[in-house]
A and B are shown apart, each in its own frame.
Chain A
Amino acid sequence: MVQLKRVLPSLAVMAAIVAAWWAIVAVGGSVVFPTPWQVVTGTAELVRDGTLWRHIGSSLFRVGAGFALAVAVAVPLGLWMGWVKGAYATLNPLFQMLRPISPIAWIPIAILWFGVGDVSPIFLIFISSVFPMVVQTTVGVHTIEKRYLRAAANFGVSRGTLFRQVVIPAVLPQVIVGMRIGLGVAWLVVVAAEMIALRSGLGYLIMDSRNAGNRYDLVVAAMVIIGMIGLLLDGLMRLLEGLKSVRWRYAH
């Protein structure tokens, strides 16, 4: 009941937007822009002929591969840069310069290097999500409270124990924040990447629907699905924030 009360206002806003949309299309009499109902039937069509699952699968695969690669690179790199002063001084300026470059700007280079297969979007996702994760991990190491490092030194633990039981768990909440940001960006970028010269994925679905006879019902359907999957991915990352061993960081 309490939960219902909390989501009620946002549901009301969404309902109002759908209603307004419907009214405007009905009054305006547009032949291209779809009504909400046409979007629903369009979605049903995609579900029935199976193309929707194929496109979702392709997009998720690319995001999964690029993101996993980015995590595998960013976390060790971030730990190293956070722990070793020289590594930070050497690499941080470079990353700070690369970070503001939109991943979209890398598209021509991706095509040049990797052609128009799956590798290009995976590379773009890697590029887009690796920097926020490196930065967050580094910040995580830099903000480990001195009292914990002191305690570790006091008990005279080995370097391995120091890393396993102090540094990595202390940084983990920041890593998860970085992963949330990284996955969010990755999902934005995959759609953009798929609009160029690919034959599958939700981004391709949008461009293809427009090019193949102005099927704007399918364009909007794909947009709504992209939004919902993005929400779901963020929800997954938020589940990680609920782990008992990281909750201390978010609690206050």
Chain B
Amino acid sequence: MPIRISVKGIGKGFATEQGTLQVVDDFSLDVADGETVAIVGPSGCGKSTLMSIIAGFERPDRGSVGIDGVVQDGPSSRGILISQQGSVFPWLTVQQNLMFGLNGRELAEKKQLADHYAEMVGLKGFENRYPHELSGGMLKRAELARALVVKPEILYMDEPFSALDALLHLRMRNELLRILEQERHTVLLITHDVEEAIHLANRVVVLSPRPTRIQSTFEVPFPHPRRISSAPVQELRTRILRELGVEADST
């Protein structure tokens, strides 16, 4: 598999009154084409900063991010960020949102593409609704569809489903797996939810507390569909949680 994302020794600090606060320190990671890598870490460890840098919204102080071997110098539609807050434009309908990133095409073609992806995520019949008329889960689907429609090579997902309730969370994960089977994106997922990481990823990277760097890496060798309740999966979950400093036996 060719390397899609190559993160080389990035570091990032912020100036505070007490001096420089080092948030990310010497972080390196390669993600292969079509791979799903989950990054888990304690809260406040700089996960979102890390994602911001990799997706091109912020510049690292040191190191570089390469996409297909080319050094990245800003965000592009080849890698779309989906964040916890969501960024579906509330002033556009679902269909207009989906067409937003489709530059330089005929209107009819844009509509057709938008409708295709609306259907894929289960929003058929809601194309002309405004976001405030949708539930939280539907809003996430719209966000996902808006990302998919521009056919990005990479999906950057920063706690994408954290704001949803447990049941919806699980359902969205299954939907995402179903979609990834059809579309084959490279996915970089940031989460604090170890179960979500194991459910979705081929590889789980555990971060250290700030300044953040890779503490350890776990392969997830189980084929899809994965049964979260099965013994090997639970055992891996316990090992990852232990790595994060949590004894999981009681849960």
A93 within 8 A of partner (CB): no
A244 within 8 A of partner (CB): yes
| Residue from A154, A156, A165 within 8 A of B89 (CB atoms) | A165
Interface string of B110-133 (1 = CB under 8 A from A): 000000000000000000001110
Interface size class of B (residues with CB under 8 A): 20 to 34
B103 partner residues in chain A, CB cutoff 8 A: 156-158, 161
Task: Tell me what chain A mostly uses at the interface: helix, strand, loop, or mixed.
Answer: helix
A193 within 8 A of partner (CB): no
CB-contacts of A159-217 with B (<8 A): 161, 165-166, 169-170, 172
Interface size class of A (residues with CB under 8 A): 20 to 34
A216 to B55, CA, bound (A): 72
B83 within 8 A of partner (CB): yes
A33 to B3, CA, bound (A): 89
B92 partner residues in chain A, CB cutoff 8 A: 165, 169, 245
A248 partner residues in chain B, CB cutoff 8 A: 90-91, 130-132
Minimal Cβ-Cβ distance residue in A for B91: A169
Interface string of A74-98 (1 = CB under 8 A from B): 0000000000000000000000000
Q: Is the CB of B81 within 8 A of A150?
A: yes
Q: Is the CB of A155 within 8 A of B131?
A: no
Minimal Cβ-Cβ distance residue in A for B88: A151
B132 partner residues in chain A, CB cutoff 8 A: 247-248, 251
CB-contacts of B184-222 with A (<8 A): none
Q: Is the CB of B75 within 8 A of A156?
A: yes
Q: Shortest CB–CB separation between residue A186 and chain B, in angstroms?
A: 27
Minimal Cβ-Cβ distance residue in A for B143: A151
Task: Tell me what chain B mostly uses at the interface: helix, strand, loop, or mixed.
Answer: loop
Minimal Cβ-Cβ distance residue in A for B103: A157
Q: Shortest CB–CB separation between residue B41 and chain A, in angstroms?
A: 22
A6 within 8 A of partner (CB): no
Q: Is the CB of A157 within 8 A of B87?
A: no
A158 to B90, CA, bound (A): 20
A5 partner residues in chain B, CB cutoff 8 A: none
Q: Is the CB of A151 within 8 A of B87?
A: yes
Q: Is the CB of A148 within 8 A of B87?
A: yes
Q: Is the CB of B89 within 8 A of A148?
A: yes
Interface string of B68-100 (1 = CB under 8 A from A): 000000111100110101110111100010001
CB-contacts of A111-155 with B (<8 A): 147-148, 150-151, 153-155
Q: Is the CB of B91 within 8 A of A157?
A: no
Q: Shortest CB–CB separation between residue A155 and chain B, in angstroms?
A: 3
A158 to B130, CA, bound (A): 24
A40 within 8 A of partner (CB): no
Interface string of A217-252 (1 = CB under 8 A from B): 000000000000000000000000000111111010
A169 to B89, CA, bound (A): 9
A155-B80, A156-B75, A248-B132 are contacts. A165–B100 as well, Cβ < 8 Å?
yes
Minimal Cβ-Cβ distance residue in B for A169: B91
Q: Is the CB of A151 within 8 A of B89?
A: yes
A154 partner residues in chain B, CB cutoff 8 A: 55, 57, 75-77, 80-81, 101
A121 to B172, CA, bound (A): 60
**Residue of B74, B131, B132 with most chain A CB atoms under a 10 A cut-off:** B132
Q: Shortest CB–CB separation between residue A156 and chain B, in angstroms?
A: 5
B55 partner residues in chain A, CB cutoff 8 A: 154
A249 to B131, CA, bound (A): 12
A172 partner residues in chain B, CB cutoff 8 A: 91
A115 to B77, CA, bound (A): 59
Binding site for A on B (CB under 8 A): 55, 57, 74-77, 80-81, 83, 85-87, 89-92, 96, 100-101, 103, 130-132, 150
Contacts A151-B89, A245-B130 aside, 11 further interface pairs with beta carbons under 8 A come to A150-B87, A151-B87, A154-B81, A161-B103, A165-B89, A165-B92, A165-B100, A169-B92, A247-B132, A248-B130, A249-B90
Interchain residue pairs A-B with the least CB separation, the first 8:
A155-B101, A248-B90, A169-B91, A151-B87, A147-B87, A156-B77, A154-B75, A245-B91
